Structure 1
Amino acid sequence: MEVVTDIVNTINGVVWGVPMLVMILGVGLYLSIGLKLMPILKLGRGFKLLWSGRQSDGKGDVSPFNALMTSLSATIGTGNIAGVATAIFLGGPGALFWMWCTALVGMATKFSEAVLAVKFRETDSSGNHIGGPMYYIKNGLSSKWAWLGTAFAFFGAFAGFGIGNTVQTNSVADAMSANFGVPNWVTGLVLMVLVGAVLMGGIKRIAEVAGKLVPLMTVFYITAGLAVLVVYADRIPDAISLIIHSAFNPVAAQGGFAGAAVWAAIRFGVARGVFSNEAGLGSAPIAHAAAKTNEPVKQGLVAMLGTFIDTIIVCSITGLAIVVSGAWTSGETGAALTSQAFAHAIPLGNYIVAIALAVFAFTTILGWSFYSEKCVQYLFGEKAIKPFRLIWTIVVPIGAVSSLEFIWLLADTLNAMMAIPNLIALALLSPMVFALTREYFIKQRQIKADSEQA
């Protein structure tokens, strides 16, 4: 096992080196500038479309609202609770600042992904709408780039077993064991049964479950997090100052914190930011491709909210709670660190974190099962769907009893391997995104002008 870990560690060091960080932030910044900061400026419009998108009569399989909830079910998970804590443990409070930067440019990335996913989606023999990076690479770029779509599908099929399956069950099992004394294998088996029951219904059942659970649990967790911040309200200004200062200056060792260089803050802030909001990873557009819509840009405006909600709201609450409570110097990491921060401030805080983690992780497993399934379908055809769902369900309890450190490392590495083909495709197809966006807003202005004249 040590040999395998060393190999993965070496690969991780390469794929998460300077070039990858430059690609993620660089492509996001390029798209943001090309869109003239539209994702940030049109945030309110996105929320209006999300609310009205609960019902839609466009072509597709699920409502725009449920498409976003499916996407959020995969993004709001372990990364928001354990991932943020791990980033702060390894990179110091400054890691949260770099997570914010990743999210702000990531909104443009997520917008572009969804626009292309709807524009170049296909319909399979069962009548389901399928799309994502492999399809916008295949249908949007010349045949010489076809291998890039295959590479994305290959990495996506395997990455899901890390980021979307074993990492989630492992974190839930640890949290349930620490807070409720539930054996890891019991947690694994319960999750396996629940996941299997939902997966047999495909995207429509996944979307239905996500549409109900995700908003409920997100509001529940945000409310608890805000309660922590209210308790430590007087420390918030100092905490924000520390986060910004630590983003550009090394942090000395203190308490159980080993200290961190600026590079560590950037590296873990960006990596955990991408792990959490998945902007640039290419996973979310697979869900948005199934939305009932005839307008790619409209779905893009809804899709970009996923990054904002996930990182700017949920991750910020987790990170600020950890810093203002002082728990970041305790030496704890992962979900245990977040639990400690909540437990310091509010009664039963650790139980709230454990329950939130369990529900978020469950929905993440569902969302990512759909992502990986579509990658497998792209590679092997529809005949591979049922065997894949069976294998996915069986792997769930394996994650519950495996090593957390190795699983995080493997998931981190596979994330980067997925992102590379997607980021290349986004850069090459960016002129089309800019053109479609420009045309959409010109048409919207014309419609508004006509209605005012009438």
Structure 2
Amino acid sequence: MQTLNDFLVLIDSYIGSAVWFPYALLGTGLFFTFYLGFPQLRYFGHALKIVKGKFDRTGDEGDASHFQALATALSGTVGTGNIGGVALAIHLGGPAALFWMLVTAFLGMTTKFVEVTLSHKYREKDETGRIAGGPMYYMKNAEFKLFGKKLNLAWLGGIFAFATILSSFGTGNLPQINQIASSIFTSFGIEQWITGAVLAVILALVILGGITRIVKVTEKLVPSMAIIYFIGALAVIATNYENIWPSIVSIFSDVFTGSAAVGGFLGANLAFAFNRGVNRGLFSNEAGQGSAPIAHAAAKAHEPVSEGMVAILEPFIDTIVICTLTGLVLLSSGAWKDKMPNQFEYTELDVLTSKFDENKPEDKQKLYEYLVEGQGMTQYTGELKIENGVVMSDVTLVHARSIADNVKVYNADGLYTGTLEVANGDVIDPSSAVVFEGESLVHSAPLTIEAFKRSFLGDWGQYIVSLGLVLFAFSTAISWSYYGDRATTYLFGSKYIVYYRLLYVTGFFFASFADTTIIWTLSGITIALMTLPNLAGILLLHDEMKKTVKDYWVDFKNDWPGEKTPE
């Protein structure tokens, strides 16, 4: 598993985690924000009126209402990114990472407006009569020009569709059930595979009904899960009210310097916070990834721009509202910087040759340079001697980017005595029967669970997170199954959808007890593979986008002469 994770990390280092990727994502959003005159601000109120159905027409073609399309798209984005993703971003980049998540969301409001408008404009009907849309269709049908020469980008649509199928697993399937199962195990002690099996059956019953059943489920799940999570988050923040202002200050104070070391957190520089904040922001709201346009393509609308405006609301609700709440919960509770008892994952366990004391500034600096700046550190190779569960070798165990304390090693018989082979800092246990437990930082859903418990809710807080996570993540898995089956239809035809759905449900079950670190790494790769062709496509169509918006307002004034426009 360690070898597989290292291979995936290497691939990710060239795309999603590469230095240039956040700039490509934010740069596209920034360009369209200025090019279209800040539509995320000017059209926000108009978008709310559209969602309410004020400008609907009888006979508009589509499979879902504006609200249902928004709910389906939101259910695809409001998931583990809002609970586990924020926790992971702060764990890696400190409070400043949340700032970059918010920046990603603000610019992403424009990016979604553009990608949804263009995708809705070029949607089609498949051979069964169902609406089919998404970036692959504008890539196939739009007229692209570069330096005056026409381009045929149908091949790019094929690449995007294939990446969508991969990302339906990497974004909407594997990390969602993995976080659900981990949360349920943490809160209730139910084995991960049991949770996976039960929810896999329910998932199959929902997605086999197609878009009609999906929108009926998501339009009820999304409001319910948002209310439950909102109330719980406010309870935590209210309990720790004295930390609200310091938490807000910490988000902005270290934006251009990075976050300083505090507690078990060893610090993060600007580049680290920026990269992790943008990547987790993208995972949260998916602006630029090209996923939401697939859901919005099914909406009943005669004007593609009107559906694009509905999409403006998504990053606002998903990231600016819900992720900010989660961030304030983590920061005000102090859970993000505290070590806590947990079972170690081998992929996050690193064995260093020297003994380090985090109370010594020079040792803390060396670890910061190793973990954040990537400077060399001698990793242990040899046998790790263990007696009655205690590591006797003169080494330092680093887990979840923090020095591990009070470590105990167990096997099936109890406290372990013996040796384990270590190669370049990685513990090798072929049988996977030896377990390391101790105190270290935690991240993802377990961190958010701990934060929710630090309120007047007490242990009841963990149940709110678990319930919210189940609803959030399960609805995401439902929506992404639809994205995957539309991509399958585009590439292979509708008759292959049933095979895709069977594979989707099977993967959902097995991911419930897979390694969390590998799941997140795979997720980052698949997100980038979808995002890059979509960004290239909408940038090439920037002139058409501007003309489409202009034509919309001309038609709107003719159809609704008494209505005030934000143009």
| TM-score, normalised by the number of residues in structure 1 | 0.96
Q: Give the alignment of 1:397-436 within 5 angstroms.
A: 397-436=509-548
Q: Residue 53 and residue 152 in structure 1: after superposition, are their counterparts in 2 closer, same or farther (change >3 A)? A: farther
Task: Provide the residue aligned with 1:124 in structure 2.
Answer: 126
Q: Give the alignment of 1:242-261 within 5 angstroms.
A: 242-261=250-269
**In structure 2, distance between residues paired with 1:327 and 1:388:** 40
Task: Provide the residue aligned with 1:332 in structure 2.
Answer: 442
Deviations 1:411-444 (A, max 9, x none): 1111011100000001011211111112222333
**In structure 2, distance between residues paired with 1:19 and 1:430:** 21
Deviations 1:297-351 (A, max 9, x none): 1111111111110000100100111111111111221111111111101311111
Q: Which protein has greater RCO, CA pairs closer than 8 Å, 6+ apart?
A: 1
Task: Provide the residue aligned with 1:306 in structure 2.
Answer: 314
- Determine helix, strand or coil for the equivalent of 1:164: coil
* Aligned amino acid, residue 89 of structure 1: H
Task: Provide the residue aligned with 1:346 in structure 2.
Answer: 456
Work out the percentage of aligned pairs sharing the same amino acid: 42
The answer on whether the counterparts of 1:53 and 1:63 sit within 8 Å (CA) in structure 2 is: no
The answer on whether the counterparts of 2:96 and 2:258 sit within 8 Å (CA) in structure 1 is: no
- Determine helix, strand or coil for the equivalent of 2:288: coil
Q: Residue 47 and residue 446 in structure 1: after superposition, are their counterparts in 2 closer, same or farther (change >3 A)? A: same
The structure 2 residue matched to 1:115, chosen from 110, 117, 121, is: 117
Task: Provide the residue aligned with 1:99 in structure 2.
Answer: 101
The answer on whether the counterparts of 2:207 and 2:213 sit within 8 Å (CA) in structure 1 is: yes
Q: Give the alignment of 1:188-337 within 5 angstroms.
A: 188-330=196-338, 331-337=441-447
The structure 2 residue matched to 1:384, chosen from 496, 501, 509, is: 496
- Determine helix, strand or coil for the equivalent of 2:514: coil
Bigger CA drift: 401-410 or 440-449?
440-449
Aligned residues: 452
Deviations 1:334-372 (A, max 9, x none): 111111111101311111001100111110100000111
CA RMSD, Structure 1 to Structure 2 (Å): 1.6
* Aligned amino acid, residue 101 of structure 2: M
**In structure 1, distance between residues paired with 2:41 and 2:239:** 31
In structure 1, stretches of 5+ residues that fail to align are none
* Aligned amino acid, residue 182 of structure 2: D
Task: Provide the residue aligned with 1:4 in structure 2.
Answer: 4
The structure 1 residue matched to 2:555, chosen from 439, 443, 446, is: 443
Q: Tell me, yes or no, if structure 1 residue 357 matches structure 2 residue 469.
A: yes
**In structure 2, distance between residues paired with 1:383 and 1:426:** 30
Offset at residue 446 of structure 1 (A): 4.7
**In structure 2, distance between residues paired with 1:374 and 1:54:** 28
Structure with the largest fraction of helix: 1
Task: Provide the residue aligned with 1:39 in structure 2.
Answer: 40
Structure with the largest fraction of strand: 2
Q: Tell me, yes or no, if structure 1 residue 375 matches structure 2 residue 487.
A: yes
Q: Residue 48 and residue 169 in structure 1: after superposition, are their counterparts in 2 closer, same or farther (change >3 A)? A: same
The answer on whether the counterparts of 2:177 and 2:196 sit within 8 Å (CA) in structure 1 is: yes
Q: Residue 178 and residue 420 in structure 1: after superposition, are their counterparts in 2 closer, same or farther (change >3 A)? A: same
Q: Residue 154 and residue 451 in structure 1: after superposition, are their counterparts in 2 closer, same or farther (change >3 A)? A: closer
Q: Residue 113 and residue 240 in structure 1: after superposition, are their counterparts in 2 closer, same or farther (change >3 A)? A: same
Task: Provide the residue aligned with 2:78 in structure 1.
Answer: 76
Deviations 1:119-138 (A, max 9, x none): 00001111111110110110
The answer on whether the counterparts of 1:54 and 1:65 sit within 8 Å (CA) in structure 2 is: no
- Determine helix, strand or coil for the equivalent of 1:345: coil
* Aligned amino acid, residue 4 of structure 2: V
| TM-score, normalised by the number of residues in structure 2 | 0.78
**In structure 2, distance between residues paired with 1:446 and 1:382:** 39
In structure 2, stretches of 5+ residues that fail to align are 145-150, 339-440
**In structure 1, distance between residues paired with 2:324 and 2:538:** 27
